[in-house]
Structure 1
Amino acid sequence: MLKRVFTAPDPGRTRLRFAARAVLGIALAVLVCGLAGHSLVGAVTGGLAALLALFTVTDATVRGQAVTTALLPAVGLPVLTAAAFLHDHPVARDLTFLAVVGAGVYARRWGPRGHSLGVFAFMTFFVAQFLHATTGLLPELYAAVLLSVAAAAAVRFGLWCYERRLPPAAVPAPPGGTGLARVTTRQAVQATVGAAFALVAGHLVSGDRWYWAVGATWWVFVNTTSRGETLVRGFRRVLGTVIGIGLGLLIAVPVDGAAVPTAVLAAASVFGIFYTAAVSYTWMMLCVTLLAELLYGLLGVLTPGLLAVRLAETGVGALGAALAVVLVLPVTTHAVTDAWIQRALRCVHACTAEAAARLAGTEGADPAPRVAELEQLLARVRLSVAPLVHPLNPAYGRKRRARRVLELLDDCAREIRGLVAVAADPEASHDARLAAACWRVEAAVEALTGGGAVPAHPDRPLATEPALAHLHGVERALAELAAPLRSPSRPPLVGA
C-alpha cells in the first residue's frame, strides 16, 4: 500500500502540485482569518472551507472551476444558518441533516458542479456540529467562509493556476437513466437511509459525537457507484481510521495542541490528503483522521477515549452505508463496470484516431485532451473493478481476470502516451500503414464493445517507426483483452 502511494504515476507532477497548492491555499486562508481577528473556531472553519474549495471543485475548465468556487458560499451559508438555528432542536436538526445528505447526493446528477456543491453543503452542516455552532457565532463564521474561499480562489486562479497550461480533463459523467433507474437517484435514497441508520446508532454510541457516524456514511458514498465499490470504500475507510488513530496516539496526543508542532503536522496532513486522494483512499483517510485529531488537540478536547469514540462512530457509519447499498435499491457491480470499460475502450480508439490525424497534418487535431479523458476513465475503471481485485474477494478466477483487464488497459494507455509523444514531433511522418493500423484498432474496439469476434493480432516484425510500433502495441493489447473480458467457456468477468 505504501509503495503504491509513492510509485504511482504522476504525469506532469499533477498530484504533487495539487497537494502543495492546497497547503499554500489553506495556510493563506487561516492567516487571513487570523489577521481579521477571528477566534480559533473561526480559523478552523475558514481552514476547512478552503480545504473543501480546493479539494472538491473538479470542473473540466478553469472557468468552470471559478464559477463553482464562487457558488460555494451561496450553498454553504444557508446550510450553516440552518444548522446554527437548529442547534438546540435535535429532532429538527437531525431531519434537516438527513435532507442535506439526500439533496447533496442527488445533486451529482448535474455533474462535477452538482457534486462539489453537494459536498460543500453537507460539510458545512457537519462542521457546524463539529464546532457546536450557535447563532451568536454566525457573523464570524460567515466572514471566515467568505474570506477563506476568496483566499483559496486567489491561490488557485491567480498565484498558482497550473491548469491553464494543461488540456481540460473530461471528467466522466455518471450513468444516465430516469427515475429510480438513474444511479444518482438510487444513491440519494441509499445515502439517506444509511445516514439515518448511522444517525440513530451514532447517538447510541455518543450523544456528543454522533455526527461522525453520519460523516462516515456520507464519505463512503462519495465517488462510488456500485454496491461493490461502496463496500470496498467502507472497508478502506475503517482501515485508514484505525491506522490514523494509532498514529494519533503516538503523535497528536503527545503534541496536545501545542501551536507550532500542530501547525507543522496539520500542514503535512493536508499535503497527505491531497497527494494520496487519487491513489489510496486508505492513506487519505489516515491523513484525514490525523488532521481531525490535531484540530481536536487545538480545541483542547483530544483524549484516547475520544479516539475510541471516533473509531466506533466510523464503524457505525460504514455499517450504515453497507446495509443501505445491499438492501436498498442495489446497483450491481456488473452493469457499472461494463459501462466504464466500454467507454474506456472507445476512448482508446478516439486517442489513436486523433493522434493519426495529427501525424497526417490535419489542422486542429490534438490528441492531448483525449489522453486526459482516457486517464480519467481508466481511474474510474480501477475504482469500479476494485471489489473484484480486493484481497478479500474469494472468487480467484474473476480476480485474476480483472487484474488482467487492468494490466491490458494500462498497456493501451502507455502505448497511446508514447504515440501522442511521437505525434507531437513536427518531424514525424504519416503513411498508409498508420491509417491501416488505426482501422484495425477501431475494428477491435467495435468487436469488444459490440460482442463481435475480435481479430487476432498477427505476428509481425517489430516496427522501426515509433508511431507504428505504439499502434501495434495497442492492437496487441486489444486482441488479448478478448479472453479476460468474455469467453464462452468461462463465467462473465463481472456479473450476477
Structure 2
Amino acid sequence: MLKRVFVAPDPGRVRLRFASRAVLGIGLAVALCGLVGHSLVAAITGGLAALLALFTVTDPTVRGQAVTTALLPVAGLPVLAVAAVLHDQPLARDLIFLAVMGAGVYARRWGPRGHALGVFAFMMFFAAQFLHTVPGQLPELYAAVALSLCASSTVRFGLWCYERRLPLPAQPAPPEVRGRLRVTTRQAVQATLGGAFALGIGQVLSDERWYWAVGATWWVFVNTTSRGETLVRGFRRVLGTVIGIVSGFAVAIPLDGAAVPTALVVAIGVFGIFYTAAVSYSWMMFFVTVMAGMLYGALGVLDAALLWLRVAETAVGALGAVLAVLLVLPVTTHAITDAWIQKALRCVHACTAEAADRLAGSTLADPAPRVAELEMLLGRVRLSLAPLVHPLSPLPARKARARQVIALLDDCVREVRGLASIAADPDASHDARLSAACSRVEAAVEALTAPEGPRGFHLPELPGVAVDPALAHLHGLERALAGLVSPLSHAPRAAATNA
C-alpha cells in the first residue's frame, strides 16, 4: 500500500515540490527560532505555525495566498492568548475550545481563506493544550510564530514560488443539498457536538491528554460532507494512528529525544505529511503520529503508555465525529455524491463549450482552467464515493456502479483534456461537425443532471473512427456520457433522498 502511495501519479511533480518546500520552509523556521534563542516549546509552536501556513493556505492565486498568510496571526494569536489565560479554568477552557471548533468549521463558508484561518485558530488552541501554555510564555510564542511565518513565507513566496508557473485552480465549493441547512452550518453544529462528546470521554481517559480526542474529531470533519465520507475518514485516521504508534515503539522510544536523529525523523515526517496528503489520509496520519511521538520524545514525556493513550483518544475522537454525522442533521452519501457528480458533469459541458469556441477562432475562450476545475471535481467525486468502493463495503451492486461511474468520469476527463490540448494549438482547424457534437454533449449533460434522472437519453450512432482529432475526442466524450446513463439511472437521486 505504501508503494502505491509513493508511485501515485504526480503531474508536474506538484506533490514532490509541495513536500520538499514544506521541509525547507519549516526547517528554516525552526532553525531561526533556535538561532535567536527561543525555547524548545517556542520552536515547536513556530514550526507548527509554519506547517499550517504551508499546508492549509490554498488560495488559487499567489496574491491571495500572501493575504491569507498575513491574516493567520490575526486569527490565531488571540486564540492562543485565551487558551493560555484559561489554562487553570477547565470549564471555561472547554467551552471556549468547543466554540473555537464550531467557529472554525463555520468559517469554511468563506472559501479557502476561511478554511485556513479556522484551522489556524483551532490549532493554536490545540497547541496551547499540547504544550501547557501559560500567560508568561505568550511574548516568546508570539515572537516565534511571527518569525516562523516570515521564514516560511520567504520560502513560499520568494525562494520557491512554483505557483507562479503552475497556478492552482480554486477549490470547488461543497454542493448544497436541497432541504438541508447550509453545509458549513450543519458541519459546525456536528463538529461542536462531536467535539463535546470527544472532550468528555477523552477527559475520562486522561485529564492531561484529552485534547487528542477533540483534535481527532476536528480533523475527521475536514473535507468531508456526508456521513459515509466521515465514516471512512474516521476509520483511516484510526488506522494511520495505529500504524504510526507501532513505528513509534520502533523509532521514537529508542531515540529518547536525541536531538539530531529526532530532527531527521521529524523532517521525514513533514515530507511524508505533505507528500501523501492528497492520495492517502491513512499514511498522512501515520506520518503525523510518528512526528508527534518524536516531539513528545524531545519534550521528555514519551513512553509506551502515552502512545497507547494516543490510540485510545484518537478512537474516541473518530467515534465522536461518526456519532455526530449519524445522529445530528445527517446527510446521506448518495445525496452528496449525486450533487458532486452533477457539478462534474456541468463542468464537462463548460470545458467542451470553451474548447469548441477556441477552435472556432475565439481568442477569449480558454478551456484550461475548466479542465483543472474538472480534475478537482473528479477528486471530490472519488472522495464521496470512497465509502461505496471501500473493500469493507457490504453493498456489491452499489460498489460496482460506483466503480463504473469513476471509470467513465475518468474517460470524460481524458477526452476533455485531449480536446483542450488540441484547442490550444493555434493551427488547429475547425470542423463544422464539432458544433453538432457539442450540442449532443450539452443534451447528454442536461439529461444526466435532470431531476428525474437520465432515463430516455440515447446516443446517436457515431462513426467508428473520426478523422479530425478534436471530433474524435468529442465522440469519446459522448460515449462516456452515454455509458453513465445506466449507473446513474439506478442510483438514488438527491431529490428523492431529501424527501
Give TM-score scaled by structure 1 length: 0.96
State the distance in 2 between where 1:179 and 1:132 align: 44
Separation in 2, partners of 1:10, 1:139: 42
Counterpart of 2:304 in structure 1 is: 304
What is the deviation of 1:415? 1.5
| Alpha-carbon offset, residue 425 of structure 1 | 2.2
> Which 4+ residue blocks in structure 1 deviate beyond 6 angstroms?
177-180
How far 1:455 sits from its partner (Å)?
Answer: 2.7
Matches of 2:394 and 2:436 in 1, distance apart? Answer: 43
**Which residue identity lines up with residue 286 of structure 2 in the other structure?**
L
Q: Do 2:237 and 2:282's aligned partners in 1 also have CA atoms closer than 8 Å? A: yes
Aligned residue among 463, 466, 471 for 2:469: 466
Within 5 Å, give how 1:342-357 maps onto structure 2.
Answer: 342-357=342-357
Contact 1:170/1:369 (8 A) holds in 2: no
Q: Which residue of 2 aligns with 1:32?
A: 32
Which letter does structure 2 place at the counterpart of 1:470? Answer: H
- Matched positions, count: 493
User: Alpha carbon RMSD of aligned pairs, Å?
Assistant: 1.7
CA contact (8 A) 1:8 1:279 kept: yes
Give distance in 2, aligned partners of 1:35 and 1:463: 66
Tell me which moved more, 147-156 or 336-345: 147-156
Q: List per-residue Cα deviations over 1:293-332 (Å, max 9, x = no partner).
A: 1111111111111100000000110111111111111122
Asked whether the equivalents of residues 213 and 316 of structure 2 are also in contact (C-alpha less than 8 Å), the reply is yes
Tell me the residue number matched to 1:480. 483
**How far does the alpha carbon of each residue in 1:372-427 deviate from its partner, in whole angstroms, 9 at most, with x for none?**
11111111111111111112221110111011101110111112222222222222
1:60: Cα distance to partner? Answer: 1.7
* Change in 2 beyond 3 A, CA 1:420/1:180: closer
Q: What is the aligned partner in structure 1 of residue 379 from structure 2?
A: 379
Residue 455 of structure 1: aligned partner: 458
1: CA distance, partners of 2:437 / 2:317: 51
Q: Letter of the 1:484 partner, please give it.
A: P
CA distance in 1, matches of 2:178, 2:432: 45
Structure 1: how far apart are the matches of 2:67 and 2:135? 29
Q: Superposed, which structure 2 residues align to 1:182-197 within 5 Å? A: 182-197=182-197
Structure 2 counterpart of 1:318 = 318
The within-5 A match list for 1:216-227 is 216-227=216-227
Query: Judging changes above 3 Å, is the alpha-carbon distance between structure 1 residues 313 and 238 closer, same or farther for their aligned structure 2 residues?
Result: same
- Alignment partner, residue 405 of structure 1: 405
Provide the residue aligned with 1:445 in structure 2. 445
Cα deviations across residues 178-229 of structure 1 (Å, max 9, x unaligned)?
9961121111111111111111111111111100000000000011111111
Contact 1:199 1:210 in 2 (8 A): yes
Q: Distance in 2 between matches of 1:120 and 1:75?
A: 7
C-alpha deviation, 1:355, in angstroms: 1.6
Partner of 1:265: 265
- Percent of residue pairs bearing the same amino acid type: 74
Q: Is the 8 A contact 2:462 2:475 kept in 1?
A: no
Task: List aligned pairs for 1:46-445, cutoff 5 A.
Answer: 46-176=46-176, 181-445=181-445
Amino acid aligned to 1:235: F
CA contact (8 A) 2:177 2:336 kept: no
The one-letter amino acid paired with 1:403 is: R
Distance 1:350 1:178 in 2: 23
Quote how far apart the aligned CAs of 1:176 are: 4.2
Provide the rounded CA distance (Å) in 1 between the counterparts of 2:248 and 2:291.
9
Distance 1:423 1:3, change over 3 A: farther
What is the rounded CA distance, in whole Å, between the counterparts of 1:399 and 1:231 in structure 2? 16
Kept in 2: contact 1:401–1:493 (CA 8 A): no
2:177 touches 2:339 (CA, 8 Å); kept in 1? no
Q: Does the residue aligned with 1:127 lie in a helix, a strand or coil?
A: helix
Conservation of the 8 A alpha-carbon contact between 1:354 and 1:365? yes
Where does 1:15-30 land on structure 2 (aligned, <5 Å)? 15-30=15-30
Q: Is the contact made by 1:72 and 1:120 (CA closer than 8 Å) also made in structure 2?
A: yes
Query: How far apart are the structure 2 equivalents of 1:474 and 1:9?
Result: 23
The one-letter amino acid paired with 1:137 is Q
TM-fit CA distance, 1:466: 2.3
Q: Secondary structure at the match of 1:309?
A: helix
- Rounded to whole Å, the distance in 2 between the matches of 1:176 and 1:400 is 26
Conservation of the 8 A alpha-carbon contact between 2:97 and 2:125:
yes
Q: Which residue type is aligned with residue 443 of structure 1?
A: A
CA distance in structure 2 between the aligned counterparts of 1:438 and 1:283, rounded to whole angstroms: 42
Partners of 2:251 and 2:316 in 1: CA distance: 25
Residue 181 of structure 1: SS of its match in structure 2?
coil
Contact conserved, 2:175 with 2:340, CA < 8 A, in 1? no
Q: Which moved more, 1:143-152 or 1:445-454?
A: 445-454
Contact 1:398 1:493 in 2 (8 A): no
Aligned residue for 2:364, secondary structure, equals: coil
Q: CA deviation at 1:278?
A: 0.9
Letter in 2 for 1:270: V
Which blocks of at least 5 consecutive residues in structure 2 are unaligned?
Answer: none
Measure the CA separation in 2 of the matches of 1:10 and 1:349.
26
Aligned-residue offset at 1:458: 2.4
Instruction: Identify which range, 76-85 or 368-377, moves more after superposition.
Output: 368-377
Query: Aligned letter for 2:152?
Result: A
Query: What letter corresponds to residue 479 of structure 1 in structure 2?
Result: A
Report which stretch shifted further, 193-202 or 175-184: 175-184
Q: For the residues of structure 2 that align with 1:278 and 1:72, how far apart are their CA atoms? A: 23
The whole-number CA distance in structure 2 between the counterparts of 1:331 and 1:492 is: 13
